Amino acid sequence: MFAPLKKALSKARKFFLGIKTADTAELEAILLQSDIGVKYTGIILDEIKEKGDIRSGLKSALIRLLDIPKPVLEGDKPHIIMVSGVNGSGKTTTVAKLANHFSRAAKVILASADTYRDAANEQLSIWADRLGIEVTSSQKGQDAAAVVYDSISKAKSKNIDFVIIDTAGRLHTRDDLMVELQKIERVTKKFKVIGPDLNLLTIDANLGQNSIQQAVVFKEHIAINGLVLTKFDGSAKGGAVVPISNELTIPVLFLGIGEGTDDLVEFNAEEFVDALIGD
Ligand SMILES: Nc1nc2c(ncn2[C@@H]2O[C@H](COP(=O)(O)OP(=O)(O)OP(=O)(O)O)[C@@H](O)[C@H]2O)c(=O)[nH]1
Ligand SMILES: [Mg+2]
């Protein structure tokens, strides 16, 4: 996965080309341009000073800041994966990518819990058909939590390993819609005390640090335990993973690096940092 990641990071990487010979002021500019933010730029510069070497100080600081414990998939099946986020952030595409990823070694069913947008159900069904995966369909206006209940019940009775839930796009400022998300989460808790094993928030990587506020509000409403940074291909703001993940203390679990179902990279801090600042 290293080569596709490096390619996807090509825009973000270009800021780091001059690091070896940079002085402190130039280094600061590089870190700020990559959207690492003022606070974390300070932390990283301190570590570089301490280590006396730019590359090793930068590398160890980035890895440490990104090293946040990941949720583990354990306990009773089905594992439940819920995907939330603002409109257009890449939820449905991510659901299809995750379905592709997990169906290589396990049985997967999708739950179409976006009952707001016209054709949302159809969009998910098209992905499901292509992947040969069953989907619990819904009608526009239907109770999204009921769709999720049905889907998990079906998974249990058919011994399916994963239920992946696509939810409607919603602005974090719409309290009524955030309440619906809580209702969906509550339904999953009828099957599993912890709720979704992976409670994922999709964030458009092009937003950079601007996405922190929306993520904070989602986290206040539901127990987000993993981030998916989508549209990483083409984003110059790769450094923003540091403030987003560290500020929220939520690990990045996946990066979306394209529009196809194979364009998903499991996030590994060391590989990511190597791809970002490596030669
Ligand atoms: N380049 C690129 N495009 C992506 C990626 N992920 C999603 N997209 C594109 O972003 C657009 C929106 O993706 P969706 O998956 O429909 O987003 P969504 O969050 O489900 O949207 P709503 O349901 O309307 O809120 C589509 O054109 C996708 O092809 C990615 O990782 N890279
Ligand atoms: Mg969608």
**Mean per-residue pLDDT over the chain, rounded:** 95
**Do 185 and 199 meet the contact criterion of CB atoms below 8 Å apart?**
yes
Q: Which residues pair with 236 in a beta bridge?
A: none
Q: Is the CB of 257 under 6 A from ligand 1?
A: yes
pTM above 0.85, yes or no: yes
Average of per-residue pLDDT across 134-151: 96
DSSP 17: G
Q: How far is the C-alpha of 36 from the C-alpha of 210, rounded, in Å?
A: 11
**Do 147 and 111 meet the contact criterion of CB atoms below 8 Å apart?**
yes
CA-nearest of 225, 258, 279 to 1 is 258
Which ligand minimizes its atom distance to the CA of 122?
2
- 9-30: pLDDT as tens digits: 988 888 888 888 888 899 999 9
- 36-64: pLDDT as tens digits: 999 999 999 999 999 999 999 999 999 99
Average of per-residue pLDDT across 5-11: 89
Q: Is the CB of 84 under 6 A from ligand 1?
A: no
Average of per-residue pLDDT across 247-275: 96
Which ligand minimizes its atom distance to the CA of 124?
2
Average of per-residue pLDDT across 91-113: 98
| Centre of ligand 2 from the C-alpha of residue 185, in Å | 18
- Give the CATH fold of the 79-277 domain: Rossmann fold (3.40.50)
| Residue 268 confidence (pLDDT) above 70 | yes
DSSP 257: -
Neighbours of ion ligand 2 (CB under 5 A): 91-92
Q: What is the pLDDT of residue 197?
A: 98
Q: Is the CB of 92 under 6 A from ligand 1?
A: yes
**Residue 91 is inside which H or E element, if any?**
helix 91-102
Q: How far is the C-alpha of 241 from the C-alpha of 42, rounded, in Å?
A: 16
- 144-185: pLDDT as tens digits: 999 999 999 999 999 999 999 999 999 999 999 999 999 999
| Residue 2 confidence (pLDDT) above 70 | no
Q: What is the pLDDT of residue 3?
A: 83
